[in-house]
Structure 1
Amino acid sequence: MGRVEYLAMKTEEEMTGNLITADLNEFVAAAKKLVKDAAMLGGLGFGTSFLQWAASISAIYLLILDRTNWRTKMLTTLLVPYIFFTLPFVIFNFLRGDFGKWIALIAVTIRLFCPKHFPDWLEIPGALVLLLVVAPSLIAGTLRESWVGAVICLVIACYLFHEHIKASGGFKNSFTQKNGISNTIGIVALLVYPVWTIFFNIF
């Protein structure tokens, strides 16, 4: 009788041990999956943030190029809404605050009362700051953070790329002319961020 009880206890202990081992294996597998998913999301977040900065810098770079001797035939005023939608949150919130309001007030005052002292190259930056300050929350918050803003940026980037190629005299010339290469690289950088954002919003 004692031997039967001993065998029964041993079998129960083995079953309990197997169950605990199985549970631990499942827990380890779940932990690995959690770490992997978190790392992937962190990587995507970093990639999106990096591309957002690159797109904003490229747009500002193209504006500066257009205001110097390297003028282009592109409609560079379209870069203002592009910068509005791609400007990183830190700079966007800073310019949307009191600092941006003071800049907008000074720019509007000089433009109204001293138009001769208001340089032409400040027109577009002044319009950008004014847009940042007065944009309603629906556009500044909701649309900027959704796929709609990315679609608007993609349309602008595609149009600018088309106009640049046409003004350069073809796709090949846009990469071979002296100032064509820098403009082409800048516009390609404008295309990457909205494509990336739309892709990851859909999938």
Structure 2
Amino acid sequence: MMKSPKNYLKMTTDSTVSEAAASLINSDLKEIGEATKKFANHVIQLGVSGGFVTTVLQWFAFCAAVYLLILDRTNWRTNMLTSLLVPYIFLTFPNWLFGILHGDVGKWITLVGVILRLFFPNHFPEYLYLPGCLLLLIVISPSFVAGYVRAGWIGVIICLGIGCYLLQEHIRASGGFRNAFTKSNGLSNTIGIVLLFVFPVWALITLI
């Protein structure tokens, strides 16, 4: 009676095979590391030269200014602060949204607002006065202001000056630097004002 041949799994113990496999793995890891480094460099270059970081910081500054403008209607009533926030928001308005409001859309909205203000003042809320002024400023601004000033160093310097002035006025109103950063009722205002600096400081660095 013939017995069927048995199959045995052959174990590879050759050291050269293990070294070759390790070499391939190390080569693959090296290529992955180089690709990751190139990707990071490209992201950084895109953020600096492509304006991605500038756009993000511009949105932060814009939202902070709008937040302070809304806060002014609740527990921080300072006419001087409100009037300074209007040009700051104008200078940091996101470009694509500014382009929409600078066209016919903004003109129609402004026309309706002016008509309500002139002929139906009782139906025009007081809290819409400053946003209406901002929209009117966006609509009537000439190309030199809407383009060159907003995108150039002049607008950056103006934003930086507004931020510095508001910060020192807030510190003075709070009774000192320590109170401005420790009192709960003024801490939110301080954070909002500090965020006003992120865009002009970065934009000034990129322009230099």
- Greater C-alpha radius of gyration: 2
Q: 2:45 aligns with which of 31, 41, 50?
A: 41
Shift of 1:134: 0.3
TM-score, reference length from structure 2: 0.76
Determine the structure 1 residue equivalent to 2:168. Answer: 162
Q: What per-residue deviation string (whole Å, max 9, x for no partner) do you get for residues 84-126 of structure 1? A: 1111111111111221111111111111112222211111100
Matched, 1:117 2:146: no
For structure 1, which segment, 39-48 or 93-102, has the greater mean C-alpha deviation from structure 2 after superposition? 39-48
For this pair of structures, how many residues does the alignment match?
Answer: 168
In 2, the alpha carbon distance for the partners of 1:167 and 1:108 equals: 35
Determine the structure 1 residue equivalent to 2:157. Answer: 151
Determine the structure 1 residue equivalent to 2:104. Answer: 98
Counterpart AA for 1:123: Y
For structure 1, which segment, 52-61 or 113-122, has the greater mean C-alpha deviation from structure 2 after superposition? 113-122
Counterpart AA for 1:88: P
- Would you tell me which structure has more helix in proportion to its own residues? 1
Shift of 1:52: 0.2
Determine the structure 2 residue equivalent to 1:22. Answer: none
Shift of 1:176: 2.0
TM-score, reference length from structure 1: 0.78
How do 1:23-42 residues align onto structure 2 when only pairs under 5 Å count?
A: 38-42=42-46
Which ranges of structure 2 fall in alignment gaps of 5 or more residues? 1-37
The residue matched to 1:179 in structure 2 has which SS? helix
Shift of 1:37: 6.7
Q: What per-residue deviation string (whole Å, max 9, x for no partner) do you get for residues 115-161 of structure 1? A: 22221111110000000000000000111111111001001111111
Determine the structure 1 residue equivalent to 2:143. Answer: 137
Shift of 1:179: 2.5
In 2, the alpha carbon distance for the partners of 1:118 and 1:177 equals: 36
Give the 4+ runs in structure 1 shifted more than 4 A.
34-38
For structure 1, which segment, 72-81 or 129-138, has the greater mean C-alpha deviation from structure 2 after superposition? 72-81
Shift of 1:35: 7.8
In 2, the alpha carbon distance for the partners of 1:54 and 1:82 equals: 13
Matched, 1:80 2:86: yes
Shift of 1:36: 7.7
Give the root-mean-square deviation of aligned CA atoms: 1.7
Determine the structure 2 residue equivalent to 1:31. Answer: none
